[in-house]
Amino acid sequence: MTIGNIPKEIRRKPSRRGYVLLGYLPTSRMKNVKNKAARRRILGNVFHACMHHILAWLKDAGAAGLPVTSGDGVTRRGHPIYATFVGDLSRTMSCYCCQDGRLPYMRSTARRTRRGHQIPLRDLESILTALDTLDDGPGVYSKACADAGIKPIYHLFWEGLPYTNIFQAISPDILHQLYQGIVKHLIAWLKECCGEDEIDARCRRLPPNHNMRLFMSGISNLSRVSGKEHNQISRFLLGIIIDVRLPDNLAPGRLLAAVRGVLDFVYLAQYPMHTTETLSHLANALQRFHDNKSIFVALGVCDNFNLPKLHSCSHYIMYIKAFGTTDNYNTEYTERLHIDSAKDAYRSTNFKDEFPQMTLWLERKEIFRHEKYIQWRLDGCPSPPVMDHLPPGIVYERQLKMTIHPTHKAVRFGRLVEDYGAQIFRDALARFVAKFNNPLFTPRQIEAESACITFAFSSVPVFHRVKFTTQDPYTPHGSSDSVVDVIHIQPRKLLKNGEAVPARFDTALVNDSTGGLIGVDGER
C-alpha cells in the first residue's frame, strides 16, 4: 500500500520505502474442488474476504476521519480513501467481478468496442442495489447480480468503502496492458503477415546501438517474453517493417500507420508530465491505429479486435486526468517489491509452512531499519539532503564524459585512414587549428592558413568511447551521474583464434552551434 501524497520520484524507488506490505494473499488453486464453476466461485470469495479483512479499517476511518501527522510535524484530521487499485488483468478482473471477463464499463455492442469508442463506466448505484439483495436469498441475489452484470460474490470488499467507485479506481497499467498486452498482440500479427523468417532476418541485420538490445537469433523463438524484452522490441519494430512486402502486393501504408499508432501511444502514455497538447497526441495515436487496423483483417491475421486491453486504451486520458501520469501507478514498481517482499522472503524459508517464516524474516528486516532510525535520533535528527523541486522526468542538460586515459595512446595518421576511415583527418585538424588561432578569419582565409600548417607529430591519442551523462537530482545522498547515451568507435580486429570482429562506428549528429531543438539544420 502507498499513499497518494508521496512524490512519485520517491515512490518509484524501492529503496526509499514508499510502499508498506500489509499482508500476503493466498494463492491456493483449490484443486480438491473438482467442479470448475464452484472452484472459481470459492477463489473469488476467498480473495474478497482477505481484501475485506485488510481494508476493513478504511470504512470508519474514511467516513469519520482520524488524526494524521504529516512530515512537518503538524497533526491534522485526515480521511483515508481507497483511491486506486494497481495490478495485472487477472487481479483487476477479480476486483470488480464483471461477468465473463467483461470490462468495468457499461455493456455495449461489440461494434462500438471494435471501433474504439469510449464507453462510460458502469453504474455503481445499480450494482450496490443488487448487492443489497444478499439477505433475500441466494436465488434472488444471483439473479440481481446477473442483471447488473457482476458475479454473485459474497460481500465484495469495496461495497462498504466510503467515496469509492471501484470501476473508476482501476488504473491503467503500462507493463501488463501495453507491453504484455497490445505490443505482444502486435508482434504476433506482424510475424504472421510478414513471415517469421523475414522478421528474424531483419532483426539480425540491425546495427548495434547503446539504447537498444539486439536479438541476433530473432524474436520468433522467444518464449516467456518479459515486459522489458517487449520494450526493447518496440524500439526497432517499426524500422524492420518499413519496406516489407505484404502478401497479394498490398500497399504497406496502412500497416505502417497502424504500427506507428500503437508505438506512439505506448510512448506517449509513459510521459512523466502531460499537457492538453500531449493528451491530444495520445488520442490521435490511438485513433490512427483504429483507422488503419483493417489491414490486419485484410491480411487474414485476425478477424476482430475485441480485446479488453485494447479497449482500455480509450480510457487512458480519463485516468491520467483523474490520477495523474501513468508512472504514478505502474506495476513495474510493485513487481520489483514482489521480489523483495515475497520471492526473497520465500527463499529464506525451508519451503515448509512458509508464511510464518516469511513474516518473521520481514520483521527482522524491520528491526534493522528501526535500529537505523534510533541511531538517527541519537545523532540529533540530522535533516535529510535537500532536493530542489524539479519537474520529474525532464531530460536535463547532458554532460560529455571521457575516460582519463585514451584507448590507444598513439595512433598514426595512416592508421586513422586505413582502420578508422578518417580520410581527411589531417586536413580537418589543420583547419581546426587555423580557425582556433584566427577566429575572425573567413572560410577562404582559413583554408589558405591551414595549407601552411605543419605538425611536429604524426600520431594522436584515440578514445573508443564517448559518454553522455545527466544528473539525477532525486538521489538521496546527492546527485549522481547516470549514463544516458554512448558513442562507440571500434575498428575491425582479429581475435587470437583468428576470428574477425567487425568494425563499429556509431553515427552522431554534432551541433555546430547554429542548430536548434527541432530539425537537423546546423547539425553535422
220: pLDDT strictly greater than 50 = yes
Q: Which residues, in sequence order, are CB contacts of 401 under 8 Å at separation 6+?
A: 467, 468, 469, 481, 483
What pLDDT does residue 55 have? Answer: 92
47: pLDDT strictly greater than 80 = yes
Quote the pTM value: 0.84
In 3D space, the residue among 459, 489, 485 whose CA is nearest the CA of residue 470 turns out to be: 485
In 3D space, the residue among 157, 180, 123, 133 whose CA is nearest the CA of residue 47 turns out to be: 157
d(CA 157, CA 273): 33
d(CA 104, CA 107): 9
Which cell numbers in the block locate residue 17?
A: 520505502
Q: Per-residue pLDDT averaged across 500-519, rounded? A: 85
Per-residue pLDDT band at 387 (split at 50, 70, 90): low
Scan for cell 497538447, then name that residue: 277
Least confident of 118-127, 203-212, 449-458: 118-127
Q: Per-residue pLDDT averaged across 249-269, rounded? A: 94
114: pLDDT strictly greater than 70 = no
Q: Per-residue pLDDT averaged across 264-271, rounded? A: 95
d(CA 96, CA 325): 23
Helix locations, 161-226, DSSP H: 183-194, 196-204
Per-residue pLDDT band at 117 (split at 50, 70, 90): low
What pLDDT does residue 110 have? Answer: 41
253: pLDDT strictly greater than 50 = yes
207: pLDDT strictly greater than 80 = yes
Q: Which residues, in sequence order, are CB contacts of 290 under 8 Å at separation 6+?
A: 115, 116, 261
d(CA 153, CA 43): 10
Longest dimension (CA), the chain: 102
In 3D space, the residue among 31, 7, 2, 38 whose CA is nearest the CA of residue 19 turns out to be: 2
Identify the DSSP state of 470: E
Helix 227-240 × helix 253-269 angle, to 10°: 140
In 3D space, the residue among 154, 86, 24 whose CA is nearest the CA of residue 324 turns out to be: 86
AA identity, residue 54: I
Instruction: Find out whether 270 and 263 touch, Cβ atoms under 8 Å.
Output: no
In degrees and rounded to multiples of 5, residue 168 shows phi and psi of -100, -15
What pLDDT does residue 478 have? Answer: 47
Give tens-digit pLDDT for 133-180: 999 999 999 999 988 888 899 999 999 899 998 888 888 899 999 999
Q: Per-residue pLDDT averaged across 92-105, rounded? A: 72
351: pLDDT strictly greater than 80 = yes
| Percent of the chain whose pLDDT exceeds 70 | 91
Identify the DSSP state of 170: B
What pLDDT does residue 115 have? Answer: 53
Q: What's the whole-number average pLDDT of the chain? A: 87
Give tens-digit pLDDT for 196-205: 999 999 999 9
Per-residue pLDDT band at 264 (split at 50, 70, 90): very high
Per-residue pLDDT band at 390 (split at 50, 70, 90): low
Distances, alpha carbon 281 to alpha carbons 102, 114, 294, 309, 456, in Å? 28, 21, 21, 20, 58
Instruction: Find out whether 228 and 213 touch, Cβ atoms under 8 Å.
Output: no
Give tens-digit pLDDT for 429-439: 999 999 999 99
Q: How many helices (H) and strands (E) does the chain have?
A: 21, 10
What pLDDT does residue 232 have? Answer: 95
Higher pLDDT, 277 or 116: 277
What pLDDT does residue 296 have? Answer: 94
Least confident of 53-57, 250-254, 387-391, 464-468: 387-391
Scan for cell 524474436, then name that residue: 219
Q: Per-residue pLDDT averaged across 483-488, rounded? A: 88
What pLDDT does residue 408 have? Answer: 94
Distances, alpha carbon 510 to alpha carbons 168, 462, 487, 489, in Å? 48, 18, 12, 16
